[in-house]
Amino acid sequence: MGGSDGAGADERSDTTRPYERDGEVTRLLFVCLGNICRSPTAEGVMRALVEQAGLQDSIELDSAGTGAWHVGNPPDARAVAAAGERGFELHGRARQIRREDFDDFDLMVAMDGENLRELRRLAPGRDEREKVRLLREFDPASGVGSEAPPSRPIASRVAGELDVPDPYYGAAGGFEEVLDLVHAACVGLLEQIRSGQAP
């Protein structure tokens, strides 16, 4: 979050095909409302997946918020604790989306429909609007366009519901649900990047 740096890991499985896009780096920006709960969680989860795949030199990550309420604050302590229990680390300081983000990033991944609409409203043109997607669009088990496999978590199998709910004012369990949804979608997003389907 707020770092725009690649994730780091030195080992790559012999069976893993390295992702390459003509030597270019794919840059992803995760976006929620305040940049202290959902988007830093998505960044932290995706960073871990990128490291595990050995793609830290090919994929760069950052996160931001559409609102300015929490600018400069670290990730919510509840999000940090929930992520830590699963082995994910959340770092950085909240920042607000900037005009140049639409030029700097290949894909801007919104956590819910409200932030998707706001990003598309802020986008300076059609090309930039086309960079904006919902995170859960990438979850193959989201129920959109296909029958969800039963092996996927229940939270990822609600057909037609693509929002990652905001846990800020909710019960502590909300952060666990966010992690379930985010992890499933980030796995799908990474698979699409590696196969050339995204961004």
- Which residues are 64's β-sheet partners? 31
Tell me the two tokens of residue 45: 């989860």
Helical spans, DSSP H, in 123-172: 126-129
Q: Are 156 and 184 in contact (CB under 8 A)?
A: yes
Catalytic annotation, pick one of 32, 62, 133, 194: 32
Task: Determine which helix (DSSP H) or strand (DSSP E) holds 59, and give its type and residue range.
Answer: strand 59-65
- Annotated catalytic residue, options 62, 101, 112, 166: 166
State yes or no: is 37 an active-site residue: no
Distance CA 58, CA 24 (A): 7
Catalytic residue among 38, 95, 136, 194: 38
Residue carrying structure tokens 């950052």: 62
Amino acid letter for position 59: I
- What's the Rg (C-alpha) of the chain? 16
* Annotation marks residue 166 as catalytic: yes
In the sheet that holds 132-134, the strands lie side by side as 59-65, 26-32, 107-110, 132-134
Residue given tokens 């793609």 in the structure block: 55
CA distance readout (Å), 12 to 27, 55, 68: 20, 8, 39
- Tell me the catalytic residues: 32, 38, 166
